[in-house]
Amino acid sequence: MSINRKELTEIAALAKLKIADEALGEIAVAMNDIKDMIDQMDEVAAQGIEPMSHPQDMMQTLRADVVTETSHQEALLSLSAQADETHYLVPKVIE
């Protein structure tokens, strides 16, 4: 069963897509090509094959979750012309 222009127009309306009439033919051909490829894939015997997240049987090497950076907040705030304990103080610019 192939997708025709009428069905493609209905699908586009459901998806709230505006497709120019001149493009409908080209899109219908592309959709039918995709459908044919899926039909080919359905013919492959895949029973008993476990799904994989990656084609190679590998494990991701993980690093320890430790803090490696220290806070420079005090040093940076000391460089400011005006600051309170945790924020830079700036003049009011919007009334």
Q: How far apart are alpha carbons 77 and 86 in whole angstroms?
A: 8
Residue 90 belongs to some domain of the structure: no
Each residue of 74-93: pLDDT tens digit?
999 999 999 998 999 998 89
Tally of structural domains, the chain: 1
Residue 1 in this model has a pLDDT that exceeds 80: no
Task: Tell me what pLDDT residue 33 has.
Answer: 94
Residue 80 belongs to some domain of the structure: no
Residue 91 belongs to some domain of the structure: no
Each residue of 4-48: pLDDT tens digit?
888 999 999 999 999 998 998 899 999 999 999 999 988 888 888
Q: In which domain, by residue range, is 34 found?
A: 5-42
**Band (59; pLDDT cuts 50, 70, 90):** confident
Q: How far apart are alpha carbons 39 and 36 in whole angstroms?
A: 5
35 contacts: CB under 8 Å, gap ≥ 6? 2, 3
**Band (55; pLDDT cuts 50, 70, 90):** confident
